Amino acid sequence: MQRSRAGYSVLVVAVFAVVTVSSVAWRQLSAQAQVIPSDWNQKAPPVVADGTTHLIISGVSGNFPWISAWLLGGMINQFPRGTFRGDIIFIGTNGAAKALTQVGDGLAHVTITTPPATAYMAYKGVGMYPKAYPNLRGVFNLPQRDPITLAVRADLGFTSFDEIIRKKYPLRISSGHKDSERAIGFLFLAFLKASGTSMDELESWGGKLLEEDNSGPAMTHIEKGEADALFHEADVVSSPQWKALNDKIPMRVLSIPDRVIDKLGEYGFHKFEYPLPKGKYPGVMEDVTTIDYSDWVVVCDASVPDDIVYKMAKVAAEQHAGFESRYRDILPAGSKELGQYVADPKQMWKNLGAPIHPGAAKYFKEKGYMP
């Protein structure tokens, strides 16, 4: 959800007395949205008070509201009737990066973010976070394989980003917003710095950044002749739009050197687990190494009681099929293909970006999923 020019944001609160989420219900919730000041700072109530559990999740947008709904839907059955309430808030943000501050600042109890490096930066107070949020704790992750795609028009003849820098080419590139509430905008600028350049320098050569939070519009800029390149996430190379783009305008996917990825390690980013194989996807003309942007991570405040977080981990491990059922092309567990794949509880507690919450650790250890 974008902020309006008047400086207002949209808040939708979904109250889970009975959890049923359909497209009709979702439209009804949207119709009940309230316009409120964008500096809204209402503190979340205690999780447990007067015999009632009240959990507030910052649901952001995209897949995250559905993760929130599935999680609350699974939790309600673990409480006596009438003693559990779950709210999903959407408050002036498109970005999973901003949502972490809502938990850190006490406006919500739980949120979802991607990639784990975002939680790492917030916990440590580095990168896109000017202050640390040591109260953040990881609960579980949901797997999805997502490499960053750095690509240029093939007819430009470039085979590396270093070559673009050396020739001071006036590159028109589409990526996230420079002031984005998503990690992709920060990562692009950090990538430029690690590569030995900056957006200011690219602009001095006549280059231009076309800011788009999502990869679809970024590809559209290339289709329209408005951009020559993109740096984005969301499984670009395996998407139908990428294939259609390459049918019209052949692209070349560029490797990101290890020395660049290593520098990004200070922000929690690392290399994608395997090179994209030559010829497997349009534009992949050689084996390509790149940055990992995989996995959705559920993060909570350290103050959430252990027994509540235990129940959250229980939903993740025992009811993940309910969430996965909304993905028509869900991949089998352990798949090496790009996209969303079936979760393995033995992996859910790993790579959370912040220390695991004791309640989640208790569940995963009791069930033998965690040493």
Owning domain of residue 192: 149-267
Residues 139 and 21 in one domain: yes
pLDDT bin (cut points 50, 70, 90) of residue 238 is: very high
Would you say 52 and 83 are in contact if contact means Cβ atoms under 8 Å apart?
A: yes
DSSP letter at 38 equals T
Total tally of structural domains belonging to the chain: 2
Is the residue at 33 inside a domain?
yes
Residues 122 and 81 in one domain: yes
Residues 19 and 141 in one domain: yes
Residues 345 and 254 in one domain: no
Is the residue at 276 inside a domain?
no
User: Measuring CA to CA, which residue among 365, 360, 370 is closest to residue 137?
Assistant: 360
Report the distance separating Cα 306 and Cα 302, nearest Å: 9
Residues 84 and 204 in one domain: no
- Mean pLDDT, residues 265-275 taken together: 97
Instruction: Dig out the tokens for 87 from the structure.
Output: 């709210």
Residues 204 and 329 in one domain: no
- DSSP string for 285-337: -S-B--BB---EEEEEETTS-HHHHHHHHHHHHHSHHHHHTT-TTPBPTT--S
Residues 60 and 40 in one domain: yes
Q: Which residue has the tokens 């959407």?
A: 90
pLDDT in tens, 105-134: 999 999 999 999 999 999 999 999 999 999
DSSP letter at 274 equals S
Of 25-29, 69-73, 311-315, 367-371, the poorest mean pLDDT is in: 25-29
- Mean pLDDT, residues 292-318 taken together: 98
pLDDT bin (cut points 50, 70, 90) of residue 11 is: very low
Of 42-46, 94-98, 294-298, the poorest mean pLDDT is in: 94-98
Q: Where are the alpha helices (DSSP H) in the chain?
A: 23-31, 64-76, 96-104, 116-124, 161-166, 183-194, 199-204, 215-223, 240-248, 258-264, 306-318, 320-324, 358-366
Of 267, 282, 307, the one marking the end of a domain is 267
Residues 133 and 188 in one domain: no
Is the residue at 47 inside a domain?
yes
| pLDDT at 186 > cutoff 70 | yes
Residues 15 and 135 in one domain: yes
Higher pLDDT, 314 or 178: 314
Is the residue at 283 inside a domain?
no
Of 227, 248, 267, the one marking the end of a domain is 267
CATH number at residue 124: 3.40.190.10
> What mean pLDDT value characterizes the chain?
88
Q: Where are the alpha helices (DSSP H) in 139-293?
A: 161-166, 183-194, 199-204, 215-223, 240-248, 258-264
pLDDT bin (cut points 50, 70, 90) of residue 8 is: very low
| pLDDT at 15 > cutoff 80 | no
Instruction: Dig out the tokens for 331 from the structure.
Output: 């991949």
Residues 214 and 102 in one domain: no
| pLDDT at 41 > cutoff 90 | no
Q: What residue type is 22 in one-letter code? A: S
Is the residue at 243 inside a domain?
yes
Report the distance separating Cα 344 and Cα 352, nearest Å: 15
pLDDT in tens, 134-170: 999 999 999 999 999 999 999 999 999 999 999 999 9
Is the residue at 56 inside a domain?
yes
Is the residue at 3 inside a domain?
no
pLDDT bin (cut points 50, 70, 90) of residue 332 is: very high
Is the residue at 284 inside a domain?
no
pLDDT in tens, 53-111: 999 999 877 788 889 999 999 999 999 999 999 998 875 555 778 889 999 999 999 99
Residues 182 and 132 in one domain: no
Residues 172 and 136 in one domain: no
Percentage, residues of the chain above pLDDT 70: 88
pLDDT bin (cut points 50, 70, 90) of residue 194 is: very high
Task: Report the side by side order of strands in the sheet with 149-153.
Answer: 208-211, 172-175, 229-232, 149-153, 251-253
Would you say 237 and 338 are in contact if contact means Cβ atoms under 8 Å apart?
A: yes
Question: For residue 327, what pLDDT is reported?
Answer: 84
Report the distance separating Cα 280 and Cα 141, nearest Å: 27
Instruction: Dig out the tokens for 41 from the structure.
Output: 């700072």
